Chains A and B, each alone.
Chain A
Amino acid sequence: MTIQAMTAQEVTMKVFNKEELFIVDVRNESDFKDWKIEGENFEHINTPYFELLDGVEEMIKEIPTHKEVLVVCAKEGSSVMVAEMLSDYGVDVFYLKGGMKAWSEHIEPVKVGDLDDGGEMYQFVRVGKGCLSYMVVSDGEAAVIDATRMTDIYLDFAISKGAKITNVFDTHLHADHISGGRTIAEKTGAAYWLPPKDATEVTFDYSPLEDGHDVVIGNTTISIAALYSPGHTIGSTSFVVGNKFLLSGDILFIDSIGRPDLAGMAEDWVGDLRETLYERYRQLSEELIVLPAHFMIIDELNEDGSVSERLGTLFTNNHGLRIENETEFRHLVTENLPPQPHAFQEIREVNMGKISPDLEQQREMEIGPNRCAVR
């Protein structure tokens, strides 16, 4: 029997298409518990590779014969070793090319809709980490919002659409992933927009995003309206694009809401978060399609792999938008918080331009789930 590589992209397609996959995760138990590849019809077993050095005989009986089997480790090496051992027993197996590092970095662009006057909205799904970024394309111009550090995908995508990136935005200073915004702006000569209240400590020049400010993309006036929406961070800003989409950053997600503590100010920002969600967002059209900066669980993915929902539907279905009692709301967002993202302080410093770690260090910092929400 032979072993074959399966790419992060192929695994992503299995997530989107809800296919079955049996995952043998050979990382150590704490890494597995912290973060794993999730799909609606994925099954997992976890046995660290270092417990399999004497053989996989014990494990063979747990491996199904009627499903595709994928061995996964951190970087690939151990999964190849275990896959080869399994294949000696006659099992057909795949290993994940590039391991969880590649899984964390893979990004899949999905079209979420058309804008009036011929514009298009694309969502870039970083399925392994739950990060979502966006590109608005209109008449030869493009805007990128909440870009990840894998900047080539946006640059190449814009070229494939025949568009020049003219504006780059971050809805807020991110704490869970390293922003690619500044790099894209430098490479394309685009303006890099940041909310000034989140940018007080940044070490580079930027264009300040202000409430009510409009930026036009393309000749067909797709306007991006900045909506000051503090709560996750003090400067958090949402964008209304072409009167059709609400890019909600880390303020509102499909099945949860933003957490106010990652910049260390949970108590202070609860009131802002509530005002944004319960007053400012209420004044918007319920027909707006909400496009958040994250998803937390795989159930939030639509059939095509995109993550979006009508604002009106979220007012009915999202628990975080339906807590009448203010004390109860305060309790939810300050006391029931999940663990904070891995290395979030350092990531914030990278995004402020204060430290410049090498690629390997950046990867290490970003390992794990995003954890930007409370549910």
Chain B
Amino acid sequence: MENLKANLTLDATGLACPMPIVKTKKAMNSLEPGQVLEIQATDKGSKADMKAWAESSGHQYLGTIEEGKVLKHYLHKSSNDESMEKKHQKVIHNEELEKSLEINKNIVLIDVREYAEYAFNHIPNAISIPLGELEGKLNELNKEDEIYVVCRTGNRSDLAAQKLTENGFTYVVNVVPGMSQWNGETTGIID
């Protein structure tokens, strides 16, 4: 199993409803926006409730991995970046990227969301480099490549695109709006 690198892991095993959600709510409050929480629970009903609670509270439910009797739920804490102004000039819309991917299989596509977000649902062949780790991995990338950067809503990828440009990358394109509205092919852990 690949490491999904949650920022915090909550043990709710052996607890019955409502405790898994009560504890999740508390744990979410202690996280920074954009961070990922892993909840380990044994209550079967926790999956549907986790999904519904995340929806009603504005967080993103990423998915659940079943390991024996333990359900590992992954939630991404909502960030208020939706209204942020995007600064990187060169953008491509989801649909256009989808077409380009069909034609050119060698496109370098970097997904800058957190590992857990990427793990459950991403575009095939996209490389996972969370925004926070980009700086340290610049030398793994080729400055002359055409590089496309994607995240959930186009904001983290905007920051990533700026960072790449500052570091001398010549052809960097931000994918908008990003995975939240991606209708093309995806892959990931089957939930």
Knowing A77-B19, A78-B18, the reply to whether A50 touches B49 (Cβ < 8 A) is yes
**B16 CB, nearest partner CB in chain A, Å:** 5
Residue of A nearest to B25 (CB): A53
Report chain B residues within 8 Å CB of A53.
Answer: 18, 21-22, 25
**B97 CB, nearest partner CB in chain A, Å:** 33
**A84 CB, nearest partner CB in chain B, Å:** 11
Residue of A nearest to B56 (CB): A51
Report chain A residues within 8 Å CB of B53.
Answer: 48, 50-51
Interface residues contributed by chain B, number (CB under 8 Å): 14
Report chain A residues within 8 Å CB of B52.
Answer: 28-30, 48, 50
User: Are A50 and B48 neighbours in the complex by a CB distance under 8 Å?
Assistant: no
A239 at the interface (CB under 8 A from B): no
Report chain B residues within 8 Å CB of A30.
Answer: 48, 52
Instruction: A81 to B19: give the CA distance in the assembly, Å.
Output: 10
Report chain A residues within 8 Å CB of B19.
Answer: 77
**A216 CB, nearest partner CB in chain B, Å:** 46
B189 at the interface (CB under 8 A from A): no
Instruction: A31 to B49: give the CA distance in the assembly, Å.
Output: 10
The secondary-structure label for the interface of chain B is: helix
B14 at the interface (CB under 8 A from A): no
Instruction: A56 to B49: give the CA distance in the assembly, Å.
Output: 18
User: Are B48 and A78 neighbours in the complex by a CB distance under 8 Å?
Assistant: no
Residue of B nearest to A53 (CB): B25
User: Are A48 and B17 neighbours in the complex by a CB distance under 8 Å?
Assistant: no
B45 at the interface (CB under 8 A from A): yes
19 of the cross-chain contacts (CB-CB < 8 Å) are A28-B49, A28-B52, A30-B52, A48-B52, A48-B53, A49-B18, A49-B21, A50-B18, A50-B21, A50-B49, A50-B52, A50-B56, A51-B53, A51-B56, A53-B21, A53-B22, A73-B17, A77-B17, A360-B44
A residues bordering B, Cβ < 8 Å?
Answer: 28-31, 48-51, 53, 73-75, 77-78, 81, 360, 364
Nearest 6 Cβ contacts at the A-B interface: A78-B18, A50-B53, A28-B52, A50-B21, A77-B16, A77-B17
